[in-house]
Structure 1
Amino acid sequence: MKEDEEMTKKSISIRMILILLFLILTFSTVGMISYIIFSNWLSSASNTFIEMASDFNGDILEEVDEFIKDPMHINDINHHVIENEIIDLSEVSAREAFFVNVIKTSNPNIYSFSYGQENGDYYGARRNQNREIEILRNNADSGFNSLYYSVNEDLTAGDLVLAAGQFDPRTREWYKAAKECQGPIFSQIYKHFIMDDLTVSAAYPIYNATGELEGVMGTHLILTDINDFLKEIATEKEATAIIIEKESGNLVANSFDHVNFITLEDGNVQRTSIGEIDNSAILKAYENYRSTGETFSRIKTDNGQITVKLSEYNQEGLSWLVITAIPESIVTAGIYRSIQLTMGLTLLALIISGLIFFKLANMAFKSVSSLIETTEKFSNGDLTIRAVITRDDEIGQISVAFNSMADTIYNLVHRLEAKVSERTRELEESNDALEYLSYHDKLTGLYNRFYFENIMKSFDTEKHLPLGLVFGDVNGLKLTNDIFGHVAGDALLSKVSEILNKVFRKEDIIARVGGDEFAILLKNTHPDEVHMLMARVKTEFSNEHILALKGSISMGCDTKTGPGKSISDVLKNAEDAMYRDKTLNRKSINSGFIESIIATLHNGNPREVRHSQNVSELSQRIGRAMDLSEAEIKRLKEAGFLHDIGKVVLDNEVLSQKRVLTEEERKLKHEHAVVGYRVLNMFDETLDLAESVFAHHERWDGSGYPKGLKGEEIPELARIIALAESYDAMTNPSVEALRTSEEAIRKIKNMSGIRFDPDIVNVFVKMMKETK
């Protein structure tokens, strides 16, 4: 019962309905189209014949191209076998198997495949008149005679079948053409030295690793084969075809059995010219082409209209003209009969198909219409609609498949929209970041040198005058990096950029153009205002402290007030002014840095203040007791005061020494002598103090730091400061384990010759007794 219901439900296959509809509609459509075509053909016959002639000509061009390109393709595939010495030509069996295999697997139109060498050797294989493959040998062993052998089953040479006589490949047109061209080329048409036929060869020069010509590979075609396929195609189309050389007009091939050449008594050939053929339509079309370049001609003859098409065929070394002629009578003869028959059949088909289609359409298209309506709504954007399934046939299956597809698309679209939105946002953010970084300095956020140099050129116009330019160089960046590290140096540069952005206007172009160099462009700004803004920057920056350093920047400026002044000169002037500022204020800048570091060290550390003062005073007293010069005593005073300047890198907890230091903290503390040396070594004013500060923790016995110097290797001033520092460290009231002066002196005497210079200890002890 269930099966009966299914059969009733599917009384006729939707596939059958579609097939019937297809046949009926196709039949009726063909009838109508045929009538229209035949009717219009009479009024547009010229275009129709031209199209037919063009198609026929194109077919021949394709055949010629396939025929001609085969040999060059063979050369392209096989030249590397010889050029890379994959085949050893001196090994006879391998060589001959190679040539035989190439011929054996090539198109039957290929007559022969050969290789001629610069020494006159010539090898290859060919197809004889019976299309049997033969092996060619021509070398010193054969007396340079071309010998042809049959081929055994193992592809070796069998019996000698032809001794063709003396032959030197180097004299042949194809060899000379490739040698001259130094690349793949087709030869001019020539008479084959064995076959009574014209030949064209694809030649390929072979070079060794040093670029010297080894020989020429040749694949050879017999032009009779072109005659054969021209005749076959033309006969099928009831047309005529001829191929000639474009320049000479000599025949290459034809479809009407006209001789293409005559062999003369001396063995040479006389080529046939197109003017010698008996075909007035082709000759007239050819003359029309030569005089006007027109490739289509309709020629009226005694036998009716002839449509002639001419096409050029060019390859490297070849320039041919393909001429085809189609008589229009082959089409027009049956046109009227076809029109009458077609009209009758079309009318009958329309009547029958109309009756059948009307009946079937009522049965089949109810579900189809519903499905079409659903798909249209879906395509218009209603992705929630689904097809109603009422049948269990092909339409029902299509409806099920549509609903499945709709569900998939619905899910994909919603996921895709979210993904596209996310990717678009990411791409926009990446593009914005890349564009920003291409014009901005990553650290400061200011414009970079690339942007500044470009915008400077665009600002160099009269509408921006007066155009001010400020050039600044941050003082102490190297000092900051060396003492506190590059993080502190970056903070210094960031502070500079912050102040520049604060002082200068929004429309001004502020750029970091070097490590510590900044440049600012100010359009439509009077020189006085430029100087005022520059002064504000210097003032505000001088009020800033970055760790232990007071802010300092050297600046210079210049203003372009007229078009006669070069913007590059303005930049140079501003830079020169900056360097003048740096040079003139160098001493005050340097002393400012030293004072700033000492102030930072002493701020909140009264012990360090007293310690510096005490060591300075005691060092001077020892120096006078040792009868040192006033210059050396002055150095002692300064070095004694600055001897712990390197402690500026230590935090207050380490400086206070209120707990036992860790090993890492102790090592860091020992570095303060090196840091102090670096600081003092950077300034001309303190250069002569650096060595004494560097060595003031060295010991007489060599157990000190940082270099482990001993005895008189330690600078004298450093030895004095070491003793003075040790005495103050024991007697300074801020020290918890405070000792009396007598206890400290006794301790120092005990360390004489170990930690301290014995001579200096003696002077010190004597001086302290006298003082007491």
Structure 2
Amino acid sequence: MKDTDINNIFQKEMMIIENALLEIEENEDLGNISIDKFAKLAKDYHNLLKLSKKVFKISDSQGKELKIKTTDISNILNNSHQGFLTFTNNLKVNKEYSSECLRIFEKRIAGEDITQLLSNGNSQKEKEFKETFTKIFEESVCENRKALLKKLPNIIHLRESIINLNYQLITQVIEGSKDLIMLVLTDITERQKIEDQVVYLSYHDKLTSLYNRVYMESIIPQLESEEAMPLSLIMADMNGLKLTNDVFGHESGDKILVNAAKVLLSSIRKTDYVARWGGDEFLIILPNTDKEKCEQVCEQINLKAKQVEADPIEISLALGSATICNPDTKIFELLNIAENRMYSNKITESKHIRRKIILNMKSTLYTKCFEDPEHFTRMQKMALNFLSFLKFRSDVIDEQIVLDFIELHDIGKIAIPKELLAKNETLKEQEWEIMKNYTEVGFRMAKSIDENFLAGNILALRERWDGLGYPYGLEKNEIPFLARFLSIIEAYDVMTHWRPYKKAISKEKAMEELKINKGKQFDPELVDLFLNNIEDIVS
């Protein structure tokens, strides 16, 4: 309130007192008693008015301060992302509450029943809230009140939100005022989601969403009980994962792991447990499962694995199992038995499985690389015929090795993008660098099935007699004989047969190309031997 406003309030009274004082000064001959009394009254009245003006000034100043503080507090509460409200023993929300309450309850809540707001339509919860709040307001002992507050729930669910509740009892000291309960509401939905995600990730494998080793180790002691007996374990190890990572990249390897996890999950009951135990290992725990049923689960896993389409290779798992019938045997001891059996099976089948995986890629090779299955057949016939003219040489290779080499020589192309293999124009430098990788991929694939001799020849298949080939620029007799031998046969067959990206040329033109590249791309001695006997070799 302004000073001018205060003066206006007492304007009439001031005029009266000023006129009275003036009259006293001008009429000194009036009766002394009347004048003294009147003078004293006027002066007292004057002093009273002055004091009243001061009080109004002080009150107005304090009111302004109070208003500023109230505004500041209101701003703090409204921007704290927490809901603040109070209610008394009538359990109705008081008029003043923070703006966050509007968002939480999605409506204005002044005068609303607090128990209905918090119970979210659950009549049983509404009853419990009402009983507890009523007891708190009726109770006179402070400690008892606090004990009752602790019984109230700290978390409630409102629609899709999770709300944390904090209760504060406010005891009024002013006579006639009622005690309050202040309720602080905090929306912890996002925080809870993050915490739940952290807990989930701490017990689950991120890639496959299966349980992880930490979780399994935490529940194993609980499963060592009579109720879980008999109990069986299955250890599973992925076959060909390293091969897949080396050839197709880790993204494809991850895909294989995810598909394997789906196979395992679909082969067990809801009461069983399956986890990714390590890089390419899985652990299955089967409570209340004897040896016979465990073997049936293993058969189910193998059957379902075969039904999954190769992407990029078929799923193959080495399995090992073990069973206990009483809790005296520790599960970790059982785990060692299952693991040893799994490794034993893996070692026994390893080479066979890897070879099967690679040879199964041939169908993909035919489609992706535009390879005609007859191409391999023609090369094998020519190679065997060509070998008959090399019997006088000391480095002649066994026929079966030659046939195996033809089977695998281009297997590395499986990792090359289809559009590059189909391109019928000169490759760009970057594209050529990608293309040249295929012999190294084929080398790693052959090494993975312990075909070390063939691996070296696959790697050298695109070396040239003049040293201008790749990957190492080997020349002349540095290039393994089998690679020099097969490069001539392959070149002739590719030139004389149609492909989607190039037309076939005549036998005579192909022979001319071999002559031109004799001593450049090809071993000159082998080219001469091939051309001199071509009728017999290609028949």
Shift, 1:609, TM fit: 2.7
Equivalent position of 2:455 in the other structure? 690
| Superposed counterparts of 1:195-344, under 5 Å | none
Determine the C-alpha separation between the residues in 1 that align with 2:264 and 2:470.
44
Q: Is the 8 A contact 1:456 1:521 kept in 2?
A: no
Match of 1:665 among 431, 452, 455: 431
Cα–Cα, structure 1 residues 590 and 392, in superposed 2: closer, same or farther, change >3 Å? same
Determine the C-alpha separation between the residues in 1 that align with 2:527 and 2:275.
59
Equivalent position of 2:212 in the other structure? 448
Where structure 2 has 5 or more consecutive residues not aligned to the other structure, the ranges are: 14-47, 83-99, 101-163, 165-184
Equivalent position of 1:534 in the other structure? 298
Equivalent position of 1:614 in the other structure? 378
Q: Counterpart of 2:321 in structure 1: which amino acid?
A: C
1:570 aligned onto 2:234: no
Shift, 1:650, TM fit: 1.8
Match of 2:65 among 401, 408, 412: 401
Q: Counterpart of 2:452 in structure 1: which amino acid?
A: L
Q: Is the 8 A contact 1:601 1:608 kept in 2?
A: no
Shift, 1:507, TM fit: 2.4
| Superposed counterparts of 1:665-744, under 5 Å | 665-684=431-450, 686-734=451-499, 736-744=502-510
Cα–Cα, structure 1 residues 563 and 732, in superposed 2: closer, same or farther, change >3 Å? same
- Bigger share in strand: 1
Cα deviation 1:559-615 (Å, max 9, x = unaligned): 111233232221111112212221332243122211222121113655343333333
SS in 2 for 1:756: coil
Determine the C-alpha separation between the residues in 1 that align with 2:510 and 2:471.
25
Determine the C-alpha separation between the residues in 1 that align with 2:205 and 2:4.
81
Determine the C-alpha separation between the residues in 1 that align with 2:230 and 2:269.
16
SS in 2 for 1:472: strand
SS in 1 for 2:284: strand
Determine the C-alpha separation between the residues in 1 that align with 2:515 and 2:413.
28
Shift, 1:638, TM fit: 1.4
Determine the C-alpha separation between the residues in 1 that align with 2:375 and 2:381.
10
SS in 2 for 1:554: strand
Equivalent position of 2:230 in the other structure? 466
Cα–Cα, structure 1 residues 448 and 485, in superposed 2: closer, same or farther, change >3 Å? same
Equivalent position of 2:254 in the other structure? 490
Q: Which structure has the larger Rg over C-alpha atoms?
A: 1
Equivalent position of 2:88 in the other structure? none
1:429 aligned onto 2:218: no
SS in 1 for 2:521: coil
Cα–Cα, structure 1 residues 665 and 724, in superposed 2: closer, same or farther, change >3 Å? same
Shift, 1:659, TM fit: 4.2
1:412 aligned onto 2:76: yes
Shift, 1:649, TM fit: 0.8
Match of 1:755 among 480, 499, 521: 521
Aligned residues: 394
Cα deviation 1:270-299 (Å, max 9, x = unaligned): xxxxxxxxxxxxxxxxxxxxxxxxxxxxxx
Q: Is the 8 A contact 1:439 1:447 kept in 2?
A: yes
Shift, 1:631, TM fit: 5.6
Cα–Cα, structure 1 residues 615 and 769, in superposed 2: closer, same or farther, change >3 Å? closer
Equivalent position of 2:115 in the other structure? none
Which aligned segments of 4 or more residues in structure 1 are displaced greater than 6 angstroms? 419-423
Determine the C-alpha separation between the residues in 2 that align with 1:745 and 1:595.
32
Q: Is the 8 A contact 2:238 2:281 kept in 1?
A: yes
TM-score by length of 2: 0.68
Cα–Cα, structure 1 residues 620 and 4, in superposed 2: closer, same or farther, change >3 Å? closer
Cα–Cα, structure 1 residues 702 and 3, in superposed 2: closer, same or farther, change >3 Å? closer
TM-score by length of 1: 0.48
Determine the C-alpha separation between the residues in 2 that align with 1:630 and 1:529.
54
Shift, 1:508, TM fit: 1.7
Shift, 1:546, TM fit: 4.7
Cα–Cα, structure 1 residues 704 and 2, in superposed 2: closer, same or farther, change >3 Å? closer
Determine the C-alpha separation between the residues in 2 that align with 1:656 and 1:406.
77
Determine the C-alpha separation between the residues in 1 that align with 2:411 and 2:527.
25
Determine the C-alpha separation between the residues in 2 that align with 1:528 and 1:761.
63
Q: Counterpart of 1:633 in structure 2: which amino acid?
A: E
Match of 1:503 among 267, 276, 285: 267
Determine the C-alpha separation between the residues in 1 that align with 2:356 and 2:223.
38
Equivalent position of 1:513 in the other structure? 277
Equivalent position of 2:131 in the other structure? none
Determine the C-alpha separation between the residues in 1 that align with 2:442 and 2:369.
18
Equivalent position of 1:581 in the other structure? 345
Determine the C-alpha separation between the residues in 1 that align with 2:224 and 2:396.
59
Shift, 1:423, TM fit: 7.2
SS in 1 for 2:283: strand
Q: Is the 8 A contact 1:488 1:546 kept in 2?
A: no
Q: Counterpart of 1:718 in structure 2: which amino acid?
A: A
Cα deviation 1:117-144 (Å, max 9, x = unaligned): xxxxxxxxxxxxxxxxxxxxxxxxxxxx
Shift, 1:655, TM fit: 2.0
SS in 2 for 1:688: helix
Determine the C-alpha separation between the residues in 1 that align with 2:372 and 2:474.
26
Q: Counterpart of 1:713 in structure 2: which amino acid?
A: E
Determine the C-alpha separation between the residues in 1 that align with 2:202 and 2:456.
46
Cα deviation 1:144-200 (Å, max 9, x = unaligned): xxxxxxxxxxxxxxxxxxxxxxxxxxxxxxxxxxxxxxxxxxxxxxxxxxxxxxxxx
Q: Is the 8 A contact 2:439 2:460 kept in 1?
A: yes
Q: Counterpart of 2:374 in structure 1: which amino acid?
A: R
Shift, 1:690, TM fit: 1.0
Q: Is the 8 A contact 1:468 1:522 kept in 2?
A: yes
Q: Is the 8 A contact 2:424 2:502 kept in 1?
A: no
SS in 2 for 1:555: strand
Shift, 1:4, TM fit: 7.6
SS in 2 for 1:625: coil
1:557 aligned onto 2:321: yes
Q: Counterpart of 1:681 in structure 2: which amino acid?
A: K
Cα–Cα, structure 1 residues 511 and 4, in superposed 2: closer, same or farther, change >3 Å? closer
Q: Is the 8 A contact 2:6 2:57 kept in 1?
A: no
Cα deviation 1:676-706 (Å, max 9, x = unaligned): 000001113x333111111111111111111
Q: Counterpart of 2:68 in structure 1: which amino acid?
A: S
Determine the C-alpha separation between the residues in 1 that align with 2:410 and 2:510.
21
Where structure 1 has 5 or more consecutive residues not aligned to the other structure, the ranges are: 12-362, 368-390
Equivalent position of 1:340 in the other structure? none
Shift, 1:640, TM fit: 1.6
Shift, 1:506, TM fit: 2.3
Shift, 1:737, TM fit: 3.5
Cα deviation 1:366-410 (Å, max 9, x = unaligned): x9xxxxxxxxxxxxxxxxxxxxxxx84323322232233333333
Q: Counterpart of 2:7 in structure 1: which amino acid?
A: E
Equivalent position of 2:530 in the other structure? 764
SS in 1 for 2:80: helix
Determine the C-alpha separation between the residues in 1 that align with 2:198 and 2:327.
36
Determine the C-alpha separation between the residues in 1 that align with 2:365 and 2:297.
33
Cα deviation 1:706-755 (Å, max 9, x = unaligned): 11100100000000111111111211132633211121112112211111
Shift, 1:461, TM fit: 1.2
Shift, 1:673, TM fit: 0.6
Q: Is the 8 A contact 2:320 2:342 kept in 1?
A: yes
Equivalent position of 2:161 in the other structure? none
SS in 2 for 1:585: helix
Which one scores higher on RCO, CA 8 angstroms, separation ≥ 6? 2
Cα–Cα, structure 1 residues 768 and 407, in superposed 2: closer, same or farther, change >3 Å? same
